[in-house]
Protein backbone atom coordinates (compact mmCIF):
# COMPACT_ATOMS: atom_id res chain seq x y z
CA UNK A 1 0.00 0.00 0.00
CA UNK A 2 2.90 2.37 0.77
CA UNK A 3 4.29 1.81 -2.74
CA UNK A 4 0.86 2.52 -4.21
CA UNK A 5 0.54 5.82 -2.31
CA UNK A 6 3.96 6.77 -3.66
CA UNK A 7 2.74 5.92 -7.16
CA UNK A 8 -0.24 8.25 -6.76
CA UNK A 9 1.98 11.09 -5.55
CA UNK A 10 4.27 10.64 -8.56
CA UNK A 11 1.52 10.25 -11.17
CA UNK A 12 -0.91 12.97 -10.06
CA UNK A 13 1.21 15.88 -11.32
CA UNK A 14 1.63 14.09 -14.65
CA UNK A 15 -2.07 13.38 -14.82
CA UNK A 16 -3.39 16.88 -14.19
CA UNK A 17 -0.59 19.34 -14.89
CA UNK A 18 -0.18 20.51 -18.49
CA UNK A 19 -2.32 17.65 -19.75
CA UNK A 20 -2.40 17.69 -23.53
CA UNK A 21 -5.69 17.94 -25.38
CA UNK A 22 -6.14 15.69 -28.41
CA UNK A 23 -8.78 13.76 -30.35
CA UNK A 24 -9.38 10.05 -29.78
CA UNK A 25 -10.20 7.84 -32.75
CA UNK A 26 -12.09 4.58 -32.22
CA UNK A 27 -12.77 2.06 -35.00
CA UNK A 28 -15.46 -0.60 -34.58
CA UNK A 29 -14.94 -4.15 -35.80
CA UNK A 30 -18.59 -5.20 -35.97
CA UNK A 31 -18.00 -8.78 -37.13
CA UNK A 32 -19.25 -10.19 -33.79
CA UNK A 33 -21.83 -7.58 -32.79
CA UNK A 34 -23.55 -5.96 -35.79
CA UNK A 35 -23.89 -2.23 -36.36
CA UNK A 36 -27.43 -1.41 -35.17
CA UNK A 37 -27.44 1.85 -33.21
CA UNK A 38 -23.66 1.70 -32.81
CA UNK A 39 -22.19 4.63 -30.90
CA UNK A 40 -19.73 5.76 -28.24
CA UNK A 41 -21.12 7.29 -25.04
CA UNK A 42 -18.71 9.85 -23.58
CA UNK A 43 -19.48 12.29 -20.75
CA UNK A 44 -23.21 12.00 -21.29
CA UNK A 45 -23.08 12.57 -25.06
CA UNK A 46 -23.54 10.00 -27.81
CA UNK A 47 -21.26 9.83 -30.86
CA UNK A 48 -22.48 7.63 -33.73
CA UNK A 49 -20.09 5.45 -35.69
CA UNK A 50 -19.88 6.55 -39.33
CA UNK A 51 -18.27 4.87 -42.33
CA UNK A 52 -15.02 6.43 -43.58
CA UNK A 53 -13.52 6.28 -47.08
CA UNK A 54 -11.97 2.90 -46.33
CA UNK A 55 -15.35 1.47 -45.34
CA UNK A 56 -14.46 1.37 -41.65
CA UNK A 57 -16.86 2.40 -38.90
CA UNK A 58 -15.18 5.12 -36.86
CA UNK A 59 -15.87 7.71 -34.17
CA UNK A 60 -13.69 10.71 -33.33
CA UNK A 61 -14.00 12.11 -29.82
CA UNK A 62 -12.86 15.74 -30.01
CA UNK A 63 -10.54 17.52 -27.57
CA UNK A 64 -10.12 14.81 -24.94
CA UNK A 65 -8.26 16.47 -22.08
CA UNK A 66 -7.63 13.68 -19.57
CA UNK A 67 -7.85 9.91 -19.16
CA UNK A 68 -11.41 8.68 -18.88
CA UNK A 69 -13.82 5.85 -19.58
CA UNK A 70 -16.32 5.57 -22.42
CA UNK A 71 -18.85 2.96 -23.46
CA UNK A 72 -19.09 1.36 -26.88
CA UNK A 73 -22.80 0.74 -27.36
CA UNK A 74 -24.44 -1.46 -30.00
CA UNK A 75 -28.21 -1.94 -29.94
CA UNK A 76 -28.42 -0.99 -26.22
CA UNK A 77 -25.66 -3.40 -25.16
CA UNK A 78 -22.37 -1.97 -23.94
CA UNK A 79 -18.70 -2.60 -23.40
CA UNK A 80 -16.25 -0.35 -21.59
CA UNK A 81 -13.12 1.42 -22.87
CA UNK A 82 -10.34 3.40 -21.24
CA UNK A 83 -9.07 6.32 -23.30
CA UNK A 84 -6.29 8.88 -23.06
CA UNK A 85 -5.77 11.97 -25.25
CA UNK A 86 -4.54 11.05 -28.74
CA UNK A 87 -5.47 7.36 -28.61
CA UNK A 88 -6.13 5.43 -31.82
CA UNK A 89 -7.76 2.04 -31.31
CA UNK A 90 -9.90 -0.69 -32.85
CA UNK A 91 -12.42 -2.58 -30.72
CA UNK A 92 -14.27 -5.81 -31.40
CA UNK A 93 -17.18 -6.37 -28.96
CA UNK A 94 -18.80 -9.78 -28.62
CA UNK A 95 -22.05 -9.60 -26.68
CA UNK A 96 -22.59 -13.36 -26.79
CA UNK A 97 -19.36 -14.20 -24.98
CA UNK A 98 -19.93 -15.54 -21.46
CA UNK A 99 -18.44 -13.65 -18.52
CA UNK A 100 -17.39 -16.92 -16.91
CA UNK A 101 -16.55 -19.18 -19.87
CA UNK A 102 -15.18 -16.75 -22.49
CA UNK A 103 -14.33 -13.49 -20.70
CA UNK A 104 -11.40 -12.79 -23.04
CA UNK A 105 -13.80 -12.63 -26.01
CA UNK A 106 -16.15 -10.02 -24.51
CA UNK A 107 -14.06 -7.28 -26.06
CA UNK A 108 -10.94 -7.74 -28.16
CA UNK A 109 -8.96 -4.61 -28.96
CA UNK A 110 -5.99 -3.43 -30.97
CA UNK A 111 -3.99 -0.25 -30.76
CA UNK A 112 -3.66 2.04 -27.75
CA UNK A 113 -4.74 0.61 -24.38
CA UNK A 114 -5.69 -2.73 -25.97
CA UNK A 115 -4.51 -4.78 -22.99
CA UNK A 116 -6.30 -2.47 -20.56
CA UNK A 117 -9.60 -2.59 -22.45
CA UNK A 118 -9.43 -6.35 -22.77
CA UNK A 119 -8.91 -6.51 -19.00
CA UNK A 120 -11.80 -4.14 -18.21
CA UNK A 121 -14.28 -6.31 -20.06
CA UNK A 122 -12.94 -9.71 -19.02
CA UNK A 123 -12.74 -9.20 -15.26
CA UNK A 124 -15.47 -10.67 -13.02
CA UNK A 125 -18.15 -8.55 -11.36
CA UNK A 126 -17.17 -8.19 -7.74
CA UNK A 127 -19.79 -7.56 -5.09
CA UNK A 128 -19.47 -6.42 -1.51
CA UNK A 129 -22.29 -8.27 0.28
CA UNK A 130 -24.11 -8.49 3.61
CA UNK A 131 -24.13 -4.73 4.28
CA UNK A 132 -26.99 -4.94 6.77
CA UNK A 133 -25.15 -7.35 9.05
CA UNK A 134 -22.44 -4.84 9.99
CA UNK A 135 -22.23 -1.82 12.23
CA UNK A 136 -21.08 1.37 10.52
CA UNK A 137 -17.50 0.92 11.75
CA UNK A 138 -17.41 -2.72 10.68
CA UNK A 139 -18.79 -1.68 7.31
CA UNK A 140 -16.04 0.92 6.85
CA UNK A 141 -13.33 -1.55 7.82
CA UNK A 142 -14.75 -4.17 5.48
CA UNK A 143 -14.97 -1.60 2.70
CA UNK A 144 -11.33 -0.60 3.08
CA UNK A 145 -10.25 -4.24 3.07
CA UNK A 146 -12.26 -4.84 -0.10
CA UNK A 147 -10.74 -1.78 -1.82
CA UNK A 148 -7.22 -2.83 -0.79
CA UNK A 149 -7.74 -6.32 -2.22
CA UNK A 150 -9.07 -5.05 -5.55
CA UNK A 151 -6.28 -2.46 -5.77
CA UNK A 152 -3.60 -5.08 -5.10
CA UNK A 153 -5.03 -7.24 -7.91
CA UNK A 154 -4.90 -4.22 -10.21
CA UNK A 155 -1.27 -3.37 -9.32
CA UNK A 156 -0.23 -6.95 -10.05
CA UNK A 157 -1.31 -6.49 -13.70
CA UNK A 158 1.52 -3.97 -14.29
CA UNK A 159 -0.57 -1.70 -16.49
CA UNK A 160 0.50 1.89 -17.18
CA UNK A 161 0.93 4.07 -14.12
CA UNK A 162 -1.75 6.49 -15.30
CA UNK A 163 -4.39 3.77 -15.75
CA UNK A 164 -3.46 2.12 -12.45
CA UNK A 165 -3.99 5.35 -10.52
CA UNK A 166 -7.24 6.30 -12.29
CA UNK A 167 -8.67 2.78 -12.08
CA UNK A 168 -7.78 2.54 -8.38
CA UNK A 169 -9.90 5.61 -7.73
CA UNK A 170 -12.74 4.19 -9.75
CA UNK A 171 -12.54 0.98 -7.70
CA UNK A 172 -12.77 3.09 -4.56
CA UNK A 173 -15.81 5.11 -5.61
CA UNK A 174 -17.58 2.10 -7.09
CA UNK A 175 -17.15 0.39 -3.74
CA UNK A 176 -18.27 3.43 -1.77
CA UNK A 177 -21.50 3.40 -3.74
CA UNK A 178 -22.51 0.33 -1.75
CA UNK A 179 -22.67 2.58 1.31
CA UNK A 180 -26.11 3.58 0.03
CA UNK A 181 -27.16 -0.06 -0.13
CA UNK A 182 -25.79 -0.55 3.38
CA UNK A 183 -28.14 2.02 4.86
CA UNK A 184 -31.04 0.81 2.75
CA UNK A 185 -30.75 -2.76 4.01
CA UNK A 186 -29.66 -1.81 7.51
CA UNK A 187 -32.84 0.21 7.91
CA UNK A 188 -34.85 -2.97 7.36
CA UNK A 189 -33.14 -4.40 10.40
CA UNK A 190 -33.19 -1.15 12.36
CA UNK A 191 -35.84 1.36 11.15
CA UNK A 192 -34.53 3.96 13.61
CA UNK A 193 -31.08 3.98 12.00
CA UNK A 194 -29.74 7.45 11.16
CA UNK A 195 -26.65 8.45 9.24
CA UNK A 196 -24.07 9.33 11.86
CA UNK A 197 -21.38 11.96 11.54
CA UNK A 198 -18.84 9.13 11.58
CA UNK A 199 -20.10 7.69 8.30
CA UNK A 200 -20.53 11.17 6.83
CA UNK A 201 -16.95 12.07 7.76
CA UNK A 202 -15.67 8.87 6.12
CA UNK A 203 -17.52 9.45 2.85
CA UNK A 204 -16.76 13.17 2.69
CA UNK A 205 -13.09 12.60 3.42
CA UNK A 206 -12.90 10.21 0.46
CA UNK A 207 -14.70 12.67 -1.82
CA UNK A 208 -13.00 15.87 -0.71
CA UNK A 209 -9.46 14.46 -0.77
CA UNK A 210 -9.96 13.13 -4.30
CA UNK A 211 -11.82 15.97 -6.05
CA UNK A 212 -9.28 15.86 -8.89
CA UNK A 213 -10.95 12.62 -9.96
CA UNK A 214 -14.39 14.23 -10.23
CA UNK A 215 -14.33 13.55 -13.99
CA UNK A 216 -15.10 9.91 -13.17
CA UNK A 217 -18.78 9.00 -13.41
CA UNK A 218 -18.43 6.93 -10.25
CA UNK A 219 -17.15 9.96 -8.34
CA UNK A 220 -19.92 12.24 -9.62
CA UNK A 221 -22.59 9.66 -8.81
CA UNK A 222 -21.26 9.28 -5.27
CA UNK A 223 -21.00 13.05 -4.73
CA UNK A 224 -24.60 13.58 -5.88
CA UNK A 225 -26.02 10.67 -3.88
CA UNK A 226 -24.14 11.47 -0.66
CA UNK A 227 -25.19 15.13 -0.85
CA UNK A 228 -28.83 14.07 -1.02
CA UNK A 229 -28.46 11.72 1.94
CA UNK A 230 -26.34 13.82 4.27
CA UNK A 231 -28.16 17.08 3.55
CA UNK A 232 -31.44 15.57 4.73
CA UNK A 233 -30.21 12.87 7.15
CA UNK A 234 -33.34 10.86 6.41
CA UNK A 235 -35.62 13.75 7.45
CA UNK A 236 -37.36 14.71 4.21
CA UNK A 237 -39.56 17.80 4.56
CA UNK A 238 -41.02 18.64 1.18
CA UNK A 239 -39.67 18.47 -2.36
CA UNK A 240 -38.75 22.17 -2.61
CA UNK A 241 -37.04 22.45 0.77
CA UNK A 242 -35.28 19.14 0.19
CA UNK A 243 -33.68 20.27 -3.06
CA UNK A 244 -32.62 23.68 -1.72
CA UNK A 245 -31.06 22.01 1.32
CA UNK A 246 -29.25 19.49 -0.91
CA UNK A 247 -27.87 22.19 -3.23
CA UNK A 248 -26.64 24.28 -0.32
CA UNK A 249 -24.94 21.21 1.15
CA UNK A 250 -23.12 20.53 -2.13
CA UNK A 251 -21.90 24.14 -2.35
CA UNK A 252 -20.66 24.04 1.24
CA UNK A 253 -18.75 20.75 0.96
CA UNK A 254 -17.13 20.77 -2.49
CA UNK A 255 -14.71 23.21 -4.08
CA UNK A 256 -14.04 21.98 -7.62
CA UNK A 257 -15.76 24.47 -9.95
CA UNK A 258 -16.60 21.98 -12.68
CA UNK A 259 -17.96 19.50 -10.14
CA UNK A 260 -20.18 22.12 -8.49
CA UNK A 261 -21.41 23.26 -11.90
CA UNK A 262 -22.37 19.70 -12.79
CA UNK A 263 -23.99 18.87 -9.45
CA UNK A 264 -26.07 22.04 -9.28
CA UNK A 265 -27.16 21.62 -12.88
CA UNK A 266 -28.20 18.02 -12.16
CA UNK A 267 -30.19 18.92 -9.03
CA UNK A 268 -31.83 22.08 -10.36
CA UNK A 269 -32.65 20.78 -13.84
CA UNK A 270 -34.19 17.61 -12.40
CA UNK A 271 -36.37 19.67 -10.04
CA UNK A 272 -37.55 22.16 -12.67
CA UNK A 273 -38.18 19.34 -15.16
CA UNK A 274 -40.19 17.12 -12.84
CA UNK A 275 -41.83 19.43 -10.29
CA UNK A 276 -43.81 22.63 -10.29
CA UNK A 277 -41.74 25.69 -11.13
CA UNK A 278 -44.01 27.83 -8.95
CA UNK A 279 -41.80 27.30 -5.88
CA UNK A 280 -38.53 27.31 -7.79
CA UNK A 281 -37.47 30.97 -7.44
CA UNK A 282 -35.00 30.35 -4.58
CA UNK A 283 -33.44 27.37 -6.36
CA UNK A 284 -33.12 29.31 -9.63
CA UNK A 285 -31.39 32.19 -7.81
CA UNK A 286 -28.93 29.82 -6.11
CA UNK A 287 -28.20 28.20 -9.47
CA UNK A 288 -27.50 31.45 -11.29
CA UNK A 289 -25.36 32.76 -8.44
CA UNK A 290 -23.12 29.69 -8.27
CA UNK A 291 -22.96 28.05 -11.70
CA UNK A 292 -20.21 29.53 -13.88
CA UNK A 293 -20.53 27.34 -16.98
CA UNK A 294 -22.18 29.61 -19.58
CA UNK A 295 -23.46 26.73 -21.76
CA UNK A 296 -25.08 25.01 -18.77
CA UNK A 297 -26.70 28.27 -17.63
CA UNK A 298 -28.12 28.97 -21.07
CA UNK A 299 -29.62 25.48 -21.28
CA UNK A 300 -31.00 25.67 -17.73
CA UNK A 301 -32.58 29.09 -18.19
CA UNK A 302 -34.15 27.93 -21.46
CA UNK A 303 -35.73 25.07 -19.46
CA UNK A 304 -36.95 27.58 -16.86
CA UNK A 305 -38.48 29.73 -19.59
CA UNK A 306 -40.21 26.69 -21.09
CA UNK A 307 -41.57 25.60 -17.71
CA UNK A 308 -42.75 29.10 -16.81
CA UNK A 309 -45.74 28.61 -19.09
CA UNK A 310 -46.85 25.90 -16.64
CA UNK A 311 -46.36 28.07 -13.56
CA UNK A 312 -49.12 28.97 -11.13
CA UNK A 313 -51.53 31.49 -12.65
CA UNK A 314 -50.76 30.65 -16.27
CA UNK A 315 -53.64 29.56 -18.55
CA UNK A 316 -53.89 25.79 -18.65
CA UNK A 317 -53.41 23.88 -21.90
CA UNK A 318 -56.75 22.44 -22.99
CA UNK A 319 -57.90 18.91 -23.74
CA UNK A 320 -60.64 17.54 -25.96
CA UNK A 321 -61.21 13.83 -25.35
CA UNK A 322 -64.09 11.36 -25.61
CA UNK A 323 -65.85 9.90 -22.59
CA UNK A 324 -67.07 6.30 -22.22
CA UNK A 325 -70.09 7.01 -24.46
CA UNK A 326 -68.03 8.71 -27.16
CA UNK A 327 -69.08 12.26 -26.25
CA UNK A 328 -66.31 14.85 -26.64
CA UNK A 329 -65.40 16.69 -23.45
CA UNK A 330 -63.22 19.78 -23.24
CA UNK A 331 -61.64 21.68 -20.35
CA UNK A 332 -63.73 24.70 -21.33
CA UNK A 333 -66.87 22.72 -20.45
CA UNK A 334 -65.99 23.20 -16.77
CA UNK A 335 -65.53 26.98 -16.81
CA UNK A 336 -66.48 28.37 -13.39
CA UNK A 337 -65.38 25.24 -11.52
CA UNK A 338 -62.02 24.07 -10.25
CA UNK A 339 -60.72 20.97 -12.07
CA UNK A 340 -58.54 18.18 -10.72
CA UNK A 341 -56.98 16.10 -13.51
CA UNK A 342 -55.57 12.61 -13.10
CA UNK A 343 -53.39 11.21 -15.91
CA UNK A 344 -53.38 7.45 -15.46
CA UNK A 345 -53.65 3.97 -17.05
CA UNK A 346 -54.97 0.59 -15.96
CA UNK A 347 -51.48 -0.95 -16.33
CA UNK A 348 -49.92 1.62 -13.97
CA UNK A 349 -49.70 0.22 -10.44
CA UNK A 350 -49.08 3.56 -8.67
CA UNK A 351 -51.99 5.05 -10.64
CA UNK A 352 -54.40 2.35 -9.51
CA UNK A 353 -53.20 2.71 -5.92
CA UNK A 354 -54.56 6.28 -5.93
CA UNK A 355 -58.07 5.33 -7.09
CA UNK A 356 -59.52 4.80 -3.58
CA UNK A 357 -58.22 8.21 -2.50
CA UNK A 358 -59.72 9.89 -5.57
CA UNK A 359 -63.09 8.28 -4.73
CA UNK A 360 -62.82 9.64 -1.19
CA UNK A 361 -62.17 13.17 -2.45
CA UNK A 362 -65.02 12.92 -4.97
CA UNK A 363 -67.39 11.93 -2.17
CA UNK A 364 -66.15 14.61 0.21
CA UNK A 365 -66.45 17.43 -2.34
CA UNK A 366 -69.66 16.19 -3.96
CA UNK A 367 -71.88 19.14 -4.89
CA UNK A 368 -68.98 21.61 -4.62
CA UNK A 369 -67.52 23.67 -7.45
CA UNK A 370 -64.86 21.16 -8.43
CA UNK A 371 -64.76 18.48 -11.11
CA UNK A 372 -62.59 15.36 -10.99
CA UNK A 373 -61.39 14.39 -14.48
CA UNK A 374 -59.46 11.18 -15.13
CA UNK A 375 -57.71 10.93 -18.50
CA UNK A 376 -56.66 7.39 -19.33
CA UNK A 377 -53.65 6.69 -21.51
CA UNK A 378 -54.87 3.14 -22.17
CA UNK A 379 -54.76 2.02 -25.79
CA UNK A 380 -56.89 -1.00 -24.89
CA UNK A 381 -60.27 0.65 -24.40
CA UNK A 382 -61.97 -2.61 -23.41
CA UNK A 383 -59.56 -3.00 -20.52
CA UNK A 384 -60.14 0.65 -19.58
CA UNK A 385 -63.94 0.32 -19.57
CA UNK A 386 -63.72 -2.96 -17.67
CA UNK A 387 -61.77 -1.29 -14.85
CA UNK A 388 -64.16 1.66 -14.74
CA UNK A 389 -66.98 -0.79 -14.09
CA UNK A 390 -65.16 -3.08 -11.68
CA UNK A 391 -63.85 -0.16 -9.60
CA UNK A 392 -67.14 1.79 -9.88
CA UNK A 393 -65.15 4.87 -10.77
CA UNK A 394 -66.99 8.17 -10.73
CA UNK A 395 -66.05 11.64 -11.90
CA UNK A 396 -65.46 12.40 -15.57
CA UNK A 397 -63.73 9.48 -17.29
CA UNK A 398 -61.95 10.21 -20.60
CA UNK A 399 -59.58 8.33 -22.91
CA UNK A 400 -56.74 10.01 -24.82
CA UNK A 401 -57.27 7.74 -27.88
CA UNK A 402 -53.64 8.17 -28.93
CA UNK A 403 -53.76 11.98 -28.85
CA UNK A 404 -50.87 13.18 -26.68
CA UNK A 405 -51.34 16.93 -27.25
CA UNK A 406 -52.45 17.54 -23.66
CA UNK A 407 -49.79 15.36 -22.00
CA UNK A 408 -47.08 16.88 -24.19
CA UNK A 409 -48.32 20.40 -23.42
CA UNK A 410 -47.79 19.57 -19.75
CA UNK A 411 -44.45 17.90 -20.57
CA UNK A 412 -45.64 14.76 -18.79
CA UNK A 413 -42.89 12.14 -18.89
CA UNK A 414 -44.53 9.61 -16.58
CA UNK A 415 -47.74 8.71 -14.79
CA UNK A 416 -49.49 9.12 -12.49
CA UNK A 417 -49.53 12.87 -12.97
CA UNK A 418 -51.94 15.19 -11.20
CA UNK A 419 -52.90 18.71 -12.21
CA UNK A 420 -55.03 21.27 -10.36
CA UNK A 421 -56.74 24.11 -12.25
CA UNK A 422 -58.83 26.97 -10.83
CA UNK A 423 -62.30 28.11 -11.86
CA UNK A 424 -60.88 30.56 -14.42
CA UNK A 425 -58.95 27.83 -16.22
CA UNK A 426 -55.58 28.86 -14.80
CA UNK A 427 -52.97 26.51 -13.39
CA UNK A 428 -52.84 26.13 -9.62
CA UNK A 429 -50.27 23.33 -9.65
CA UNK A 430 -49.02 21.56 -12.78
CA UNK A 431 -47.60 18.77 -10.63
CA UNK A 432 -50.14 18.60 -7.82
CA UNK A 433 -49.84 16.31 -4.78
CA UNK A 434 -51.24 12.80 -5.08
CA UNK A 435 -54.78 12.22 -3.80
CA UNK A 436 -53.27 10.15 -0.98
CA UNK A 437 -51.37 13.27 0.20
CA UNK A 438 -53.40 15.35 2.71
CA UNK A 439 -51.95 18.51 1.14
CA UNK A 440 -54.17 18.05 -1.92
CA UNK A 441 -57.35 18.22 0.17
CA UNK A 442 -56.25 21.53 1.68
CA UNK A 443 -55.38 22.93 -1.76
CA UNK A 444 -58.83 22.03 -3.07
CA UNK A 445 -60.52 23.61 -0.04
CA UNK A 446 -58.73 26.87 -0.76
CA UNK A 447 -60.22 26.98 -4.27
CA UNK A 448 -63.90 26.40 -3.55
What's the pLDDT score for residue 274?
Answer: 81
Would you say residue 266 lies in a domain? yes
C-beta of residue 4 within 8 angstroms of C-beta of residue 151: yes
Q: Are residues 256 and 350 located together in one domain of the fold? A: no
pLDDT of residue 10 exceeding 50: no
What is the tens place of the pLDDT at every residue in 243-302? 999 999 999 999 999 999 999 999 999 999 887 777 788 999 999 999 999 999 999 999
C-beta of residue 52 within 8 angstroms of C-beta of residue 104: no
CA atoms within 13 A on the CB side of 443: 23
- Average pLDDT of span 322-341: 96
Q: How many Cβ atoms sit within 10 Å of the Cβ of residue 220? A: 17
Q: Higher-confidence residue: 5 or 26? A: 26
Percent of the chain with pLDDT over 90: 63
- Average pLDDT of span 111-129: 81
Q: Are residues 432 and 346 located together in one domain of the fold? A: yes
| DSSP per-residue codes, 154-221 | HHTT---HHHHHHHHHHHHHHHHTHHHHHHHHHHHH-TT----HHHHHHHHHHHHTTGGGTTSHHHHH
Range name among 187-191, 199-203, 271-275 with the lowest pLDDT average:
187-191
C-beta of residue 76 within 8 angstroms of C-beta of residue 14: no
Would you say residue 315 lies in a domain? no
Tell me which H or E stretch contains 314.
none
pLDDT of residue 147 exceeding 60: yes
- Average pLDDT of span 103-109: 75
What's the pLDDT score for residue 237?
Answer: 67
Q: Higher-confidence residue: 371 or 127? A: 371
Q: How many domains does the chain have?
A: 3
Query: Domain boundary residue among 122, 146, 170?
Result: 122
pLDDT of residue 7 exceeding 50: no
Q: Are residues 184 and 262 located together in one domain of the fold? A: yes
Q: Are residues 426 and 336 located together in one domain of the fold? A: yes
Q: Are residues 147 and 294 located together in one domain of the fold? A: yes
- Identify the domain containing residue 98 by its residue range: 19-122
Q: Is the dihedral angle over the CA atoms 332, 333, 337, 339 positive or is it negative?
A: negative
- Average pLDDT of span 316-320: 96
CA distance 154 to 116: 11
Mean of the per-residue pLDDT values of the chain = 88
Query: Domain boundary residue among 308, 338, 354?
Result: 308
- Average pLDDT of span 352-375: 96
What's the pLDDT score for residue 6?
Answer: 47
- pLDDT band of residue 195 (cuts 50, 70, 90) is low
3-state secondary structure (DSSP) of residue 351: helix
Amino acid sequence: MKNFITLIIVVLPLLFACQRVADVQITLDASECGTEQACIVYQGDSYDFTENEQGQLTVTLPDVSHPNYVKVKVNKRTRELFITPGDVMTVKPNFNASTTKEPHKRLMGEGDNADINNYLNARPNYRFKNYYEFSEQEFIEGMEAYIAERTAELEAKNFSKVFTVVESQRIRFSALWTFLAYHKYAKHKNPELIYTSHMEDYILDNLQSNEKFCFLDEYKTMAIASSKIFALNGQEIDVHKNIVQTVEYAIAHFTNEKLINGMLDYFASDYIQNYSISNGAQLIDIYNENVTDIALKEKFNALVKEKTRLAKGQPSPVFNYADVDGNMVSLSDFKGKAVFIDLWATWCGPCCAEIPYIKTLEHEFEGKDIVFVSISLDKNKKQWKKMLESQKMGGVQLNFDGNRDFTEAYDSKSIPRFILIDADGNIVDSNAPRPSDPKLKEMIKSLI
